[in-house]
Amino acid sequence: MKQTREPYLERADYTWSPDSIRFVNTPTMSARQTFFYVQEVGYFRTSAPYFTERANLNSFLIFYNISGKGLLKYQDQTYYLLPGTVAFINCMEHHYYECLSGQQWEFLWLHFNGATALGYYEEFIRNGFRILSELDPFFAESTMRRILALTQKKDLHSEILVSSLIVEMLTQILIKNSSQNLSLGFMPVYIKDVLKKIENQFSDFLTLDDLSAESHISKYHLSREFKRYMGVSIYKYLILTRFNHAKELLKYSGESVEQIAYSCGFHQVSQFIDLFRKYEKKTPLQYRKEWN
């Protein structure tokens, strides 16, 4: 049965100042296929009763609050948008934001898209959605203003430059978000111990039961916390570590694929080849030929 897409929703009150900017952009086909590209970008200075309600729009929104206070409703939660905060929203999901009564609300906003935009967003919400307050204000505001200016300028290089600025913004959003959520500088000792053991003994037969017993942590807790801090399961991290060493041997040694498989902890050559093809999209021999 053919699935029908939910209808696009947008309601808004356009109470903004005469110097506010709303620039609608039409990206080139090259930009759509290759880069992050701007759909709309702008600067608003608003007052109550300004609001926007939207859903089912194929776009992602980065929102930087310069001054004043706003309110955001997203994913069945309510958030206050204070000066210096950043929101990163998937516009396919229902969202509503408004200027609070008695406020002069000033903000920069960017609707963008691109082939990997959804992947960035999913990484951002991996531990739950939140409003960011950790971005450097000068970086956030100046980057958003440069995106606006370059999009309006629309010269030969503007789409490439804008794409690089969007990547910079997204990179900082992910770094600040993960640092705040995970406090990576305070990674638990038992996680560090597991990482060290995998790096030093990746060719051994390592099991979750053994690692949890050595850590004196339940295997369920260890598995959950390891993925929370490292982004992948213990099993996948072990496989990737083995692959890192296997690829070095494929590049720089004359050992056979069978010898490399066993020396890196794979007890069946067929398993090594199948997993290598799954992760690298090529066989070990194809990988070796490419690099030699």
Burial of 130 (0-12, 13-18, 19+ CB in 10 A): middle
Give the pLDDT of residue 180.
57
Average pLDDT along the chain: 91
Give the pLDDT of residue 5.
64
Give the pLDDT of residue 181.
54
26 vs 10: CA distance, rounded Å: 20
Give the pLDDT of residue 184.
45
172 vs 136: CA distance, rounded Å: 9
H or E element that contains 247: helix 234-252
Q: Which residues of the chain fall short of a pLDDT of 50?
A: 1-2, 183-184
Fold identical between 9-182 and 189-291? no
193 vs 174: CA distance, rounded Å: 26
**250 Ramachandran zone, left/alpha/beta (phi>0; psi -120 to 50):** alpha
What are the residue ranges spanned by the domains of the chain? 9-182, 189-291
By C-alpha distance, which of 230, 203, 63 is closest to 132?
63
Q: Which CATH architecture has domain 9-182?
A: Sandwich (2.60)
Residue 87 phi/psi, 5° resolution? Answer: -115, 140
Question: For residues 129 and 60, is the Cβ–Cβ distance under 8 A?
Answer: no
Structure confidence by residue, pLDDT tens digits, 41-51? 999 999 999 99
| Fold category of 189-291 in CATH | Arc Repressor Mutant, subunit A (1.10.10)
Model's pTM, two decimal places?
0.69
Cα 8 off chain centre by:
25
Question: For residues 67 and 141, is the Cβ–Cβ distance under 8 A?
Answer: no
254 vs 252: CA distance, rounded Å: 7
48 vs 253: CA distance, rounded Å: 69
